[in-house]
Amino acid sequence: MVRSKRVFLTALTLFALVLCPLARAQDEPVVTLELPDEGPGEALGNWLYAELDGFRVRWNVLDVGGEQLEPVVAVTRSEPGRAGREVRAMRDLLREGGGIIYVVGPGDRHLRAARDFWGPTDVNLESADGGASSARWVEHPLTDGLEGIGAVTPEVNISGVGGSPLVRAGADTVAVAFDWGPLGRAVIIDEALLFDQLSTLSPRPSVRDSLMRAVKWASGREETTPAVQAPTAAPVGADDDERRDVAAPEHMVAALDLPTEGDEWPALRGALLEALKKAGLEIDQLRAEEGEPVITPVGLERAGLLVVGSGREQVHYTEPLAVARFFDRGGRMLFVSQARGPRQKRMIGFNQLLSQLRIAVSLGREGGQPELVPHPITEGLQATGEERVRDGAQIWTPTVDPMVRVRNRPVAATYQRGDGRLVIIDGELLLRHPRAERPWPVFREMLDRSIEWLLGEL
């Protein structure tokens, strides 16, 4: 009897020893390698499969309709011709709070595939300037203490709203981390950074640690503080000596770069024109031939106020510089964002025009009740408490002074540097909400007061 019990206990112990590792494996988060079975993609996948610790690593398990795994991170590459269902599966993973490590392969076909994949977001992918240069880490928790990289010949320049650069090569940014909060995380990498002539079967040694960190960060298991954050509750705009009063601009002319169609822009444009004329401003519509810049120093010579709406996917490379020069000379600017559905690409040019001021606006904010924030523009304004706004935009830069928040995200704000003044407003504040008979009066009044503040009358 005693012997039988001992045999039973021994068997039970052996069973437990086998079962415990299996149970731990079942608890480990899943990383799926959505990569090809040849070339650099295979080399990257083989190396990650062997090196990743603390994860269950699987090959191509998204959208297979078989094993019910729940990946937290997908590692993938810009494969031209990828099936639409696979793209949707990866976007769904990101939308549900997962992470993506996305490698952009070389050449125009890979660049187009990457643009197609990231099209619904505010990620910008452009061809690199070309030529080999020494790559360098940008200060970030994911790059802290890493060894030097060496020479890289970049293929793609990566940027976008909420992006924190990780690696630069010459004038190009070749690796960027994006943190969209509940919408997930992504790290986008130029493949030229990962492989060189001496490292073709696995990533070059100098970037291996960063890949490990990137996967852990994208999974949410390794928290870091991104370089670009939403503003905190307290206004952290310009220093007090920069918030000084300003005189009226030399010219009472408003130069306009506003859309005329789509996304309720006809109604929004009408509201802006009415407010500008009420303020006594002359209207000058900026125009240009195809391929030529719309906003130019010559076009702004007699302008006191520049009014821009989110209507263009592409801007000429000289336009952000023209905007910055205008602002630095004491120019006043009103930027209004408004884009819905597939026209989210409208935001690309809008953010490029603001890039020299290091200010960015992103879609994806949920609708809700707007909250007025103390500010010279909002002083004396009264909300009824019934105001609601639809899903829209938020401002992602901590150097602005918020005027209105929705779900604690700034949706209207100001920025001042010297005599230059800027107001940014989410267009949803100025449009009629589906549950209202007309636009909310408090925000139309805020628009009028914003123009007064820009003109030095507040």
DSSP symbol at 153: -
- Looking from the CA of 151 toward its CB, the CA atoms found within 13 Å total 8
Q: pLDDT per residue over 390-410, tens digit each?
A: 998 888 766 788 999 998 888
* pLDDT at residue 40, rounded to an integer: 87
> How far is 247 from 215, CA to CA, in rounded Å?
52
If you write DSSP's letter for every residue of 14-71 in order, what string do you get? HHHHHHHHHHHHHHSPEEEEE--SSHHHHHHHHHHHHH--SSEEEES-TT-SSS---E
Rounded mean pLDDT, 37-59? 88
Instruction: Give 73-117 as a DSSP string.
Output: EEEEE--TT--HHHHHHHHHHHHTT-EEEEEE-SSHHHHHHHHHH
Write down the pLDDT at residue 343: 52
CB-CB contact of 278 with 448 (8 Å): yes
pLDDT of residue 39: 87
The most confident of 74-88, 127-141, 401-415, by mean pLDDT: 401-415
User: DSSP label at 385?
Assistant: S
- pLDDT of the residue at 344: 66
% of the chain at pLDDT higher than 70: 85
Inter-residue contact 110 to 80 (CB < 8 Å): yes
Q: How large is the average pLDDT for residues 357-375?
A: 87
How much is the pLDDT for 455?
95
The residue among 23 and 51 whose pLDDT is bigger is 51
What are the pLDDT digits (tens) for 246-285? 999 999 999 999 998 888 899 999 999 999 999 999 999 9
Whether residue 337 contacts residue 429, with contact meaning beta carbons closer than 8 Å, is answered with no
Q: Where are the beta strands (DSSP E) in 120-248?
A: 123-127, 133-137, 150-152, 156-160, 163-169, 172-179, 185-190
Q: What is the mean pLDDT of the chain?
A: 83
Contact status, residue 333 vs residue 308, Cβ threshold 8 Å: yes
* Average pLDDT, integer, range 150-154: 88
Which pLDDT band holds residue 306 (cuts at 50, 70, 90)?
very high
Q: Band of the pLDDT at 228, cuts 50, 70, 90?
A: very low
Query: How high is the pLDDT of residue 64?
Result: 54
The conformation of residue 368, written as its DSSP 8-state character, comes to: B
pLDDT at 426 over 90: yes
Residue scoring higher pLDDT (18 or 51): 51
State the pLDDT at residue 120: 67
Q: What is the pLDDT, as a whole number, of residue 150?
A: 86
Cα–Cα nearest to 79, from 92, 95, 65, 90: 90
- State how far the alpha carbon of 68 is from the alpha carbons of 29, 61, 64, 126, in Å: 13, 9, 9, 37
Is the pLDDT at 376 greater than 90? The verdict is: yes
* Strand 56-59, strand 30-34: pairing: parallel
Give the predicted TM-score (pTM) of the model.
0.53
